[in-house]
Chains A and B, each alone.
Chain A
C-alpha cells in the first residue's frame, strides 16, 4: 500500500491508444524520471501534458500524460496516466521503464483494492474485490510463472544456485569464523565469480530482448527526402503482405503506419508521410522528423533517388544512421542515373518500386541483419514480459553495485548486501521466495558446530 504500482489499463494491442496507469506516493516522481517535457513535479493537479517518454536519450514514444494528485483520484493516491500510441512494443517498454524506476507491477484488482482501502468506493463492493483478488491473483501469478519455460527457469535457478553458494559461504565465514578448514571468501576471490554472474544475467537479458522481437516485432522507420518513394515502398510491402493499414494521412502524428509479417516476425513500419510537405520549412522539418524516427526505430531504411544528386540533407542523415542498424536503398533505377555511387556504401540496394524490382533483396537483407531465421527456432522461450525483464535488469544492477563495493574496498559483508538483493530479485521471477533456503544450503554444504 505504500509503494507505487503501475499497469497497462487498456486491452493490449487493440486500440489506437494505450493507457498506462501509475498510482502511489511516488508516481509523479517516477514518471518524471522518464518524461521529456514539462517538469511534472511542478504542474497543477488534473492537467494533461504533451511530451516524450525517454530511456536515457532514446525516445520511446510521443505521449500525453495526465497528472492527478491525491485525494481527488480513483485510488485517492497520486495518479499519473500515460496515453501512448497503442502498439504492444512501446506500451510494454514504457511499463518496463516505470518498473525499473521504482514502480511495482500492480496485482490484478489492485487499483480497485486501493480505491476501497482509501475509502474511495463503497463498502458493498468489498466482497467483489476480495473475489477478484482470490480468483485472479494466484491464477495470474501461476500463469506468469508457468509461462516461463523450463529452460529459462532452470537458467535462473542455476544463477540463483551460483549466488546462494557465494552467500552461504560468506555467511559461514561470518557465523563460524573459527573454522579454518572452510574456504574464506575474499573480495579478490569473489570478483571473478560476480563478473561471471553478471555476464550470465546480461546474456539472459539479451536473449530475452531477442525473444521480445519475436513476440512484439521490430520497429522499422523509412526516411528520405520528399518524393523518393517512401510511401510507395510502404504500400508495396503492405499490399503484398495484405497487412492491415492504418491510414492516418493528414495527421501530424507518426504512429505505426502498417505491419507486415516477415518470416514470422512482425515489422511495424513508420514513415514521414504524415508531414505535409507544402511549406518552405519542409527540408528542416524533414530532417528533424527523420532524426526522431531514427531514435525510436530498431531498423532504418533510408531511400535515395537514383534520378537525383545527393543533397546536404542526405549526407547528414547517412551520417546519423551509421550508429544504428540500417539499410540504404536507391529507388527509381528505371530512370536516368544521376546519383554518384562511388560516394555511397557498397551494399546499397538498387530497386525500382514501380516495377517491383529489388524488393525481395531488401527483405532478405532485413532477415540477415536481425538473424530472423535463427531467432524463431530457439529464443521464443525466453522471458518477454515487462515484469521479468525489469527484475532481471534490477538484479543485474545489484550485481554491478556489489562489484563497485569491491572496487571501493568495502568489507565482504557489505559487498554481500547487494548480492543478497540480486538473489531475492531473481527468486521473484520464478516465484521462489522460500526464506529458509539460505540456511538449508548453509547447513547442507558445510560441516559446522560444536
Chain B
C-alpha cells in the first residue's frame, strides 16, 4: 500500500480527516484539485453561528483544527444569544478568507505523516466490495487501506446563473466528472442537491453612511480550549454592516423572476435547495407580505476589497444582478466583483452510511461533508474529524468513536443523517438537539476531551490541563457545599442589596448560588466566599449549580434513550423473515439497518407496535 489513508478533497472536512489520520500516526495522503484552494471559504466569510459555534468547540475539544485555525484568522467575534440561557450561547466569528486557508495549509504542510498532492480523482480501486485506493484522471493509481471521500460540491458540479448552466466547481475550479457515476455503479443511490451564494461587492464602492454598523463583542473569546488569551485585538475588530432591501429591489426581482435559473431560466433543475438558505427570489415569492429583507455586508478579508452580501443569494443573470445590487441603500454605485450563482452537485443518500461514517456499500470507504448531504463548513469539519478518527480506529482494529445524541451536536448530526436521511442540504439547528441543555458551548471539553485523548489527538500536556480544570470544578463545588451562610443582620443586608430574599435559616452557599440574582463574583466581592478560581472554572460551576434541576431532568430523559440504545440489533438480521412487521416498517428497517432498538425507534414510519414485534422476534431468534 502507498498510504494507510487517502483523503479525497481539501475542504473543511478533508483537512480535519487528513490531520486526524496523520496525528494519530497513520501515513496519510490528502489529494485535492488545487492546493491553493485548500480550506477556502467559498460562501460566507464566517465560522460558527448558532449551534455551529458549538460544533467548532466540539471539534476543538476532540483535537481537531477548525477552532484554533479560526482563532488565528479572526476579523470579528461575537457570542450569540448571550441574553438567553447558557445552552444556546454560541460563538460566531468573521474569519479572514485569505489567512484562514493560509494558516490551515501551513498546519497541513508541517504535519508529520501527511502528504499533499494535486489531482482529480475519477474512480476508486475496488476489490470484492473493499476499497483499495483511488484512480486519478490520468489513470494513475494510488493504493491505500482506507479512502475518505470529502468531495464537497465537486461531484458533477454545475454553476447556474440565469439561463446558463456551466459544468464547473466554485470559482471556475475543475469538477470531478465521473466519480459520482462510478459510485452509482458500485451501488450507491445518488442525490442531487443545490445551494447558492450571493454577489461580492467592492468595498470602496459602497457608501457605508447609509448602513448600520454591527460591531463584535467587547469581551474576548476563543474557540480553542487551550488558548489563555485570544489572538485578535478585541478593540480593533472589523465591523459588519446592516442594510435592507427596498421596494425597488423587490420590483426588479419580481419583474425578472422568469430569468432566474430556478424560476424558468433553466428547465432542467433537479437539485433540492435548503429551506434555511433560500435565494432572495425564494424569499420574495414565499413571503409576499414582507416589505423588506435584512442583508448583512460582511468583510471577507483585510487583504482584499471584497464584501459579502449575506441574505442576497440569487441565480439571476448578471445584468439583473447589477440592477438588484444598485437598488440597495449605499450600493447605488457598487461594483460587483463576483456575481452570485447557484450550484448543483451530487451527494449520496446518507442512510447508506454507518454512524462511524464508513459506507455500508463499500468496506474501508468513509465519506464526510457535503457528499453526505450536509451544508456548512462546521457540519463538514466535524464529520471529517470523525471519519478521520474512525479510519484510524479501523486500521487499529478498535471500536469506532460514535458520539451519542446527548454527548455532542456532532453525534446528533451523524445520527440524523444515517437514521432519517435527508433530501435537502442538512444544516445544524439547535432545535434538532433534544438534549441541548447538555450540549453547551461552555462544556464541550467536559463532554469530549476524554474521547480526544483516548483516540490519540489530545496530548498529555493538553489532557493534564483539562484534568486540572475538572479537579478545580469539583473542589470548588465541594467548598460551596461545605460552607454555610447564616441569617445574621449583616448577611441579610448584603442580600437585600441584591434584591434577594433575606434568610431565615442557614443555607449552604451552593444553594444560595441557585438564586438568579446571586453570582460567584458577588459572593466573592461581598466576602461571603474567600476563594474562587479562574473565570472558566467559575462560570462552569455557576452554570452547573444554577441550572442543576433542569440539567438533571434532561439527563433523566437522555438516560431513557440510552437504555434503548444499549439494546443491540445484530447486523445479520433479516427483516423479511419477521412476518408480523408492517410492510412500511420492513422497508424502512431494511434501508436504515439500525444498530440498536433506540435507533430503530427514531426511524419515521416505524411504529411502537413494530418495535414490540421486533423485540419479541430478537428474543426468540437470538436467545434460543
Chain A interface (Cβ < 8 Å from any Cβ of B): 1-3, 107, 110, 113, 116-117, 119, 123, 126, 129-131, 133-134, 137-138, 141, 171, 173-181, 408-414, 417, 434-436, 438-439, 442-443, 447-450
Contacts and interface: CB of A to CB of B under 8 A. Distances in A.
Contact of B276 (A2, A409, A449): A449
A129 B616 contact: yes
A447 B580 contact: no
Given A133-B616, A447-B290, A450-B313, A409 B516 contact: yes
Interface stretch (B117-125, B455-463, B602-610): B602-610
B616 A126 contact: yes
Given A414-B85, A439-B429, A130 B616 contact: yes
A176 B50 contact: yes
B294 A107 contact: no
Interface string B75-105: 0000011011101100000000000000000
A181 B294 contact: yes
B437 interface: yes
Given A133-B613, A442-B431, A449 B88 contact: no
Interface string B240-257: 001000000000000000
Interface of B is mostly: loop
A180 B624 contact: no
Which bracket fits the contact residues of B? 35 or more
B624 A134 contact: no
Interface of A is mostly: helix
A447 B516 contact: no
B303 interface: no
A58 B102 CA distance: 74
Given A174-B81, A417-B553, 20 more contacts: A113-B616, A116-B619, A126-B617, A130-B578, A130-B616, A134-B581, A137-B609, A138-B582, A171-B430, A175-B51, A175-B431, A411-B84, A411-B85, A413-B436, A414-B85, A417-B550, A438-B431, A439-B432, A449-B276, A450-B310
A134 B607 CA distance: 11
Contact of A171 (B290, B310, B429, B616): B429
Contact of A449 (B311, B550, B604): B311
Contact of A113 (B296, B554, B579, B612): B612
B287 A130 contact: no
A137 B274 CA distance: 38
Contacts of B311: 449-450
B276 A174 contact: no
Contacts of B613: 130, 133-134
B547 interface: yes
A411 B612 CA distance: 39
Contacts of A408: 516
Contacts of B608: 107, 137
Contacts of A410: 85, 516, 550
Contacts of A131: 580
Contacts of B573: none
Interface string B580-624: 111000000000000000000000100111001101110110011
A119 B616 CA distance: 11
Nearest to A108: B609
B42 to A, nearest CB: 13
B314 to A, nearest CB: 11
Sorted from nearest, which 6 A-B pairs have the closest CB atoms? A411-B85, A137-B609, A134-B580, A126-B620, A443-B275, A449-B277
B617 A177 contact: no
A413 B87 contact: yes
A434 B290 CA distance: 29
24 contacts: A1-B615, A3-B560, A116-B616, A123-B620, A123-B624, A126-B620, A129-B616, A130-B613, A133-B612, A134-B581, A175-B430, A176-B50, A412-B85, A413-B87, A413-B88, A413-B436, A417-B553, A436-B604, A443-B275, A447-B287, A447-B290, A449-B311, A450-B310, A450-B313
A33 B50 CA distance: 43
Nearest to B296: A178
A252 to B, nearest CB: 44
Given A181-B294, A447-B286, A138 B274 contact: no
B283, B612, B624, most chain A CB atoms within 10 A: B612
Contacts of A434: 604
B467 interface: no
B550 A130 contact: no
Contacts of A1: 615
A154 B623 CA distance: 46
Interface of B: 43-44, 50-51, 80-81, 83-85, 87-88, 198, 242, 274-278, 283, 286-287, 290, 292-294, 296, 310-311, 313, 429-432, 436-437, 516, 547, 550, 553-554, 560, 563, 578-582, 604, 607-609, 612-613, 615-617, 619-620, 623-624
Contacts of B430: 171, 174-175
Contacts of A123: 620, 624
A177 B624 CA distance: 56
Nearest to B312: A450
Nearest to A442: B431
A175 B429 contact: yes
B50 A414 contact: no
Nearest to A409: B516
Contact of A138 (B85, B88, B604, B609): B609
A181 B277 contact: no
Contacts of B560: 2-3
B607 A130 contact: no
B516 to A, nearest CB: 5
Contacts of B578: 130
A435 B412 CA distance: 14
A181 B550 CA distance: 31
B287 A450 contact: no
Contacts of B290: 447
A409 B517 CA distance: 9
A117 B310 contact: no
A131 B580 CA distance: 7
Contact of A413 (B85, B277, B296, B620): B85
A137 B80 CA distance: 47
B276 A177 contact: no
Contact of B609 (A119, A134, A414): A134
A417 B612 CA distance: 29
Contact of B80 (A177, A411, A435, A436): A177
Given A130-B616, A443-B275, A414 B313 contact: no
A174 B287 contact: no
Contacts of A119: 623
A174 to B, nearest CB: 5
Contacts of B563: 2
A108 B619 CA distance: 19
Given A129-B616, A449-B278, A417 B437 contact: yes
Contacts of A116: 616, 619
A123 B621 CA distance: 10
Nearest to B310: A450
A138 B611 CA distance: 12
B617 A130 contact: yes
Given A133-B613, A137-B609, A171-B431, A117 B619 contact: yes
A149 B322 CA distance: 57
A410 B88 CA distance: 13
A133 B580 CA distance: 9
Contacts of B287: 447
Contacts of B554: 417
Nearest to A450: B310
Contacts of A141: 609
A2, A126, A175, most chain B CB atoms within 10 A: A175
A414 B276 contact: no
B277 A174 contact: no
Contacts of B277: 449-450
A116 B198 CA distance: 60
Nearest to B292: A181
Contact of A447 (B293, B579, B609): B293
B84 A412 contact: yes
B624 to A, nearest CB: 6
